[in-house]
Amino acid sequence: MRVTRESLLRIAKETTQERAYNDTDVIAVYLTGSLLNVDPMLGGTADIDLVFVHKSENLKPREFVKLTPDFHLDISHRAKAEFKSPRELRGDPWLGYEMYDPQLLYEREKFFDFVQASLRAGFDFEQPPLILQRCRKMLSHGRQIWHDLTEIDETVGPKEVKKYMKSLFHAINAVAELSGPPIQERRLLLEFPARAEAAGKAGMAAGAFNLIGANNIDAAKLNLWMSDWKSAYKLAIEKPDVDMRINSARTNYYEKAIKAMLEDKTPLAALWPLFHTWTLCAEVLEGDHFNFWQSAANDLGLLGENFQQRVEGLDHFIDEIEIILDDVAIENGLETSGGL
């Protein structure tokens, strides 16, 4: 079956009709994510990002629904209460962009237009004061997670490496948001060089690659890791306590994207989705499968004494971003952070 952006959009609309029309708790549904772009495919795969807004709270936050081996629904469930202060959403680095320019698919009550109008009021959303607010909030998240890493005095394992990558993820996106929405995990290192250049800081890309250990390996090494990664992924799917992102519906979504990046002009961009998902799997694995991940983590300099060196490097990276954001503030006559 030939799958196009148009056919995926049709599936999004049909899914919305089927679910929302029969569930009075749903007050709105909108489409976000890569399908809003002209070419949402990566390695011939894509997901359909839908957000269902509900009257009630205490919802299951996210679910994945397999359509074919290469395509799935990624459905987020949000409570209406999350949008009670639309003006505050303008400073939210995630939800702000999510609501700024999605495609409305369904609305039961007057919700969407009000929230979006408040979000866009005065065209301030894309002006320096709000851009800086979102970037600083993103960086603050990264700094808080980094601080937790400085207090680790036990053996470093998948849990600590995952936390390190989460801090780095937020730091990278604090730079990316100077020129647009945050970058999602699958495309993080693929898109960051262009976003760093757009911010006038092209050199930041090399720093990000090095902090995840890309300077220690090459594309051939990543190719060698693929079979161990896939075995770990297949096994981890069956574990009840695995991170929800490790899901059978997303196997090809990751694998084919990783392979496509390995064959492209920036093959080491594949390191992030490969090692991030492998780390999520390693949290619930043991024996040889854990040892294979551990060997890769050692190669990347993310275990043992090297881990603390990476944490120190991340500290400097975050410091550099703080200076960048303060420079933007000074250029626009705005208040500097004074340190986060």
Residue 93: which CATH number?
3.30.460.10
Kindly state whether residues 171 and 193 are assigned to the same domain: yes
CA distances from 74 to 11, 50, 201, 227, 278 (A): 12, 6, 33, 26, 20
Which one of 123, 146, 170 terminates a domain? 123
Kindly state whether residues 28 and 172 are assigned to the same domain: no
Q: Which domain holds residue 154?
A: 128-322
Kindly state whether residues 104 and 252 are assigned to the same domain: no
In a domain, 336, yes or no: no
Kindly state whether residues 138 and 195 are assigned to the same domain: yes
Dist CA 279 CA 281 (whole Å): 5
Kindly state whether residues 186 and 261 are assigned to the same domain: yes
Residue type for 7, please? S
Q: How many domains is the chain partitioned into structurally? A: 2
Kindly state whether residues 43 and 189 are assigned to the same domain: no
Kindly state whether residues 25 and 138 are assigned to the same domain: no
In a domain, 111, yes or no: yes
Kindly state whether residues 119 and 225 are assigned to the same domain: no
In a domain, 165, yes or no: yes
The Cβ-side half-sphere exposure at 32, using a 13 Å CA radius, reads: 22
Dist CA 169 CA 179 (whole Å): 16
Kindly state whether residues 117 and 21 are assigned to the same domain: yes
Q: Report pTM.
A: 0.95
Kindly state whether residues 234 and 313 are assigned to the same domain: yes
Sheet holding 46-54, edge to edge: 62-68, 71-79, 46-54, 26-32, 103-107
Radius of gyration of the chain (CA): 20
* Pairing outcome for strands 46-54 and 71-79: parallel
pLDDT tens sequence for the chain (340 residues): 678 899 999 999 999 999 998 899 999 999 999 999 878 999 999 999 999 999 998 888 999 999 999 999 999 999 999 998 888 899 999 999 999 989 999 998 888 888 888 888 767 888 999 999 999 999 999 999 999 998 887 789 999 999 999 999 999 999 999 999 999 999 999 999 999 999 999 999 999 999 999 999 999 999 999 999 999 999 999 999 999 999 999 999 999 999 999 999 999 999 999 999 999 999 999 999 999 999 999 999 999 989 999 999 999 999 999 999 999 999 999 999 864 4
